[in-house]
Amino acid sequence: MLIFVTGGVRSGKSSYAQKRAKELCADPVYVATAKIWDEDFHERVKRHQEDRGSEWTNFEAYRDLHLLPLKDRVVVIDCVTLWLTNFFLDHDNDIDLALADFKKEINQLIEIPGTFIVISNELGMGLHADTPVGRQFADLQGWANQYVAAKANEAVFMVSGLPLSLK
C-alpha cells in the first residue's frame, strides 16, 4: 500500500504521517532521505528525530531505498523533496534523468510488500523561483508528486495541520 502525504512547509505532513504509521503498527520504520548540508538543517533533523520515540526503526538513505529491510513493515519516507534533490544533484540538474531515476525507485518500492507513507512538499503553491535551476527543480517536484499520487492507494493534502483526502 502507498499513502501519499503532501502539503506546504510546516503544514503538518510529518506529524500526520507518523501518527498514521503508529496507528497501523507498534514498530514503524522512518526513512530520512536528506543529506545534512548545514548546521540549521542539522538542527531541523535533530528536532524530527526527537519527535519520534524508541519504537521507531530509523534509516538514513539518500537513494536505493528499496534495498533497505522494509518488507512487511509500515514505513514513513520523509521526504520526496530532499530525495529528489539528491537525484537532481547527482545528474547535474538534468530533470529528465532525475525524474527517471526517481520513478524507478518508486516502482521498486511499491513492489515490496508493506505500507509506505511517502511525504512530499507542494513547491508550486509557494513563491515562484527566481533562478532557472530553481524553476527546473519546482517542475521536477511537481512531476514527481503527480507520479507518486497516481501510484498511491491514498493521497492526503495537509493544510494548517488538517488532512484533506484527495483519494
Catalytic residues: 48
Q: Is 31 annotated as a binding residue?
A: no
Q: Is 53 annotated as a binding residue?
A: no
CA 74 – CA 37 distance, rounded (Å): 28
Q: Is 15 annotated as a binding residue?
A: no
Q: Is 6 annotated as a binding residue?
A: no
CA 35 – CA 86 distance, rounded (Å): 8
Q: Is 14 annotated as a binding residue?
A: yes
Q: Is 73 annotated as a binding residue?
A: no
Q: What is the side-by-side strand order in the sheet with 2-7? A: 57-60, 29-32, 73-78, 114-121, 2-7, 154-159, 162-165
Q: Is 46 annotated as a binding residue?
A: no
Q: Which residues of 105-121 are buried (b: 16+ CB within 10 A; e: fewer)?
A: ebeebbebebbbbbbbb
Q: Is 165 annotated as a binding residue?
A: no
SS3 9: coil
Q: Is 11 annotated as a binding residue?
A: yes
| Grid cell for residue 149 | 499520487
CA 42 – CA 39 distance, rounded (Å): 5
> Residues comprising the binding site for GTP?
7-14, 32-34, 60, 78
> Residues comprising the binding site?
7-14, 32-34, 60, 78
